[in-house]
Amino acid sequence: MNFQIHRGTKEIGGSCLEVWTKSTRIVVDFGMPLVNPDKTQFNSREINKFSPSVLIEKGVLPSIQSLYNNATNTSLILSHAHQDHYGLINYLHKDCKIFLGKATQKLIEITNIFTNQDWAISNPQHFESGKTFAVGDIEITPYLMDHSAFDSYAFLIKTNEKSLFYSGDFRIHGRKTKAFDWFSYNVEKNVDYLLLEGTTIGRVDKKFPTENEMYFATEN
């Protein structure tokens, strides 16, 4: 197993992970950046006039040529329906297989309506939580996670030799805490590589209210 993190370290958003073996290549998430290198807000409409090759040079798109030219050899796995995890999918070759939850696809289609966007998923392949599927010689097991986006997943990725766990975005204070509890007891232990979201690392150590606490406080 080989892997490369193209985006998502030392920044929030724009997540993109590439995993490959001698015969198979997958990309996990294909997110739009939230900010430019100079920390100004990223404007997605400004890049529409550029080709993939230009956007690769600018550092917007990851340099994974098979995604744009010969996508029958590379598949995309989407964790959830937030633009910083799927927002660049329109640059994919039309033959690229996109593996995602059924509800995630529906949320992206609804987002198109309300944002006047046109994110197209021309070759969808749906998965379900806890059910392992294979892309070539790579096995992927999705796990439903607690996150603000409905139908969010983490992934256990395995080859014959190694295992990698990609958490995607998750939390343990929302309405799906039981999903996280189930996952924590049932996911495989002792993986070789752990790629973990860390947006709260370094914050003040204090108790955050849960979604239920906020909900009932509003009700009362």
Structural domain harbouring 100: 2-219
pLDDT band at 138; cut points 50, 70, 90: very high
| Residue-level pLDDT at 200 | 63
Q: How many CA atoms lie within 13 A of 165 on its CB side?
A: 13
pLDDT band at 202; cut points 50, 70, 90: low
3-state secondary structure of 211: helix
* Total domains, the chain: 1
- 154 vs 130: CA distance, rounded Å: 10
Please write the tens of the pLDDT for every residue from 43-55: 877 888 888 889 8
- 151 vs 148: CA distance, rounded Å: 9
Tokens describing residue 16 = 């993109």
Here the CATH number for the domain that contains residue 150 is 3.60.15.10
Per DSSP, 155 falls in state E
